[in-house]
Chains A and B, each alone.
Chain A
Amino acid sequence: MCDSCGCSQPANSVTITRLGQSGPGAAGQHHSHRPPRAQGRVVAVREAVLGKNDGIAAHNRDFFRKRGVVALNLVSSPGSGKTTILERTIRELRGEIPMAVIEGDQQTMLDAERIDATGVPVVQVNTGAGCHLDADMVHQALHRMELAKNSLLFIENVGNLVCPAMFDLGEAAKVVIISVTEGEDKPLKYPAMFDAAGLCLINKTDLLPHVDFDVARCREYALRVNHRLEFFEISARTGEGMPAWLAWLRSQI
């Protein structure tokens, strides 16, 4: 599927860092191999391929539920404005709702540093060559942070509209973000992500006068994939449309 993107790396190339600290990465795994004797025997398995991930995701979800934490998994192409949306959202809700952030990127602490500047707790997960976060990375990040009761946890996934769709992290909902500088046909081209999402933010609406993006058509395409999807049109830069998104967030706590 994505043999070119490098996610075949060993698990120990993932690093998870609480800002201001440095932590060890995830444990690696190795298999031994000895030559066998020939004897064919069929063993029934009947288990989901992502069953292990789904199990850890269920554990995360249970942890969130017990603390009243609403976790949102933000997914999009690179450059749609996920981090800017978070900065603006945090600035608007600070002092009203406790918030925390897990930042996923292949490399660098740049996004975590931006979030750190807003004053909320943030943990950066660097996936190395990996193209998505998985439930165990989130689980390990959770061990490096303290979440307030009845709070919001934003999990900013690696910018990628494909693989993150398959991996449950234990979130309450996936929030897919598309910016108006992209093609309005993205929901048709990458249906799995729009199918997995509960919410869609259409960002950078301040640029609409300058681009050919057709918002109505984008919504229509996305609804063809997922008729339950809810939409918010926002500009994280100007603040246009933000009140409806913020009201939705408040209603979740």
Chain B
Amino acid sequence: MSLAINIVELVSEKAQAAGGQKVTTVELEAGTLSGVMVEALGFCFDAAARNTPAEGARLVVREIEARGACMGCGHTFVLESLLAQCPQCGGYAVETLQGRELKVVSLTIDEYDEE
């Protein structure tokens, strides 16, 4: 929930800075190891967005597949979790290369015309 609140705050700030009054879409990039559960985040986002420029906005989440490199044999592979084991040598010492990021990529806004 606190992530959803952080997203809504960032989105509201950026939307206002861009002169937009209403956010219709929020595009998010979430690594599969970022700790985010996409469905739960959607639910929390809707709740957190109430009474903000992001109210009613559609949250589009693009998942970034986590990849890691084995410290033992150098093999790079897709990480299913933080407990990933190298499929080549069985080692657990794995360096994460990507998949922890959690970013707001873009907003789609409706602009407000001054009366």
Residues of chain A having any CB pair with chain B under 8 Å: 1-3, 5, 7-8, 29, 31, 33-53, 130-132, 134, 163, 165-166, 188, 191-192, 195, 223-225, 227
Contact = CB atoms under 8 A, between A and B. Distances in A.
Nearest to A194: B82
17 contacts: A1-B1, A7-B1, A31-B52, A36-B21, A40-B109, A41-B20, A41-B109, A41-B110, A42-B106, A42-B108, A48-B103, A130-B2, A191-B82, A225-B82, A225-B83, A227-B93, A227-B94
A191 B84 CA distance: 11
Contacts of B101: 48
B111 A1 contact: no
Interface of B: 1-7, 9-12, 14-15, 18, 20-22, 24, 28, 35-37, 40-41, 43-44, 47-48, 51-53, 55, 71, 81-83, 85, 92-94, 101-113
Q: Which are the 9 A-B pairs with shortest beta-carbon distances?
A: A36-B22, A36-B21, A191-B82, A227-B93, A31-B52, A36-B110, A224-B92, A45-B104, A43-B18
Contacts of A46: 103-106
Given A3-B43, A3-B44, A8-B47, A188 B104 contact: no
B10 A43 contact: no
A47 B43 contact: no
A31 B35 contact: no
B57 to A, nearest CB: 12
A27 to B, nearest CB: 13
A49 B40 contact: no
A227 B113 contact: no
B2 A132 contact: yes
B105 to A, nearest CB: 6
Contacts of B24: 40
Contacts of B5: 7-8
B1 A45 contact: no
Nearest to A51: B10
B24 to A, nearest CB: 6
A31 to B, nearest CB: 4
Nearest to A132: B2
A50 B3 contact: yes
B84 to A, nearest CB: 9
A5 B1 contact: yes
A224 B44 CA distance: 32
B44 A37 contact: no
A1 B40 contact: yes
Contacts of B4: 1, 8
Given A1-B36, A8-B44, A45 B10 contact: yes
B55 A33 contact: yes
B20 A44 contact: no
Given A37-B110, A47-B10, 18 more contacts: A1-B41, A1-B44, A3-B43, A3-B47, A5-B1, A7-B5, A8-B5, A8-B48, A31-B12, A33-B53, A36-B20, A39-B111, A43-B106, A46-B103, A49-B3, A49-B104, A132-B2, A166-B3
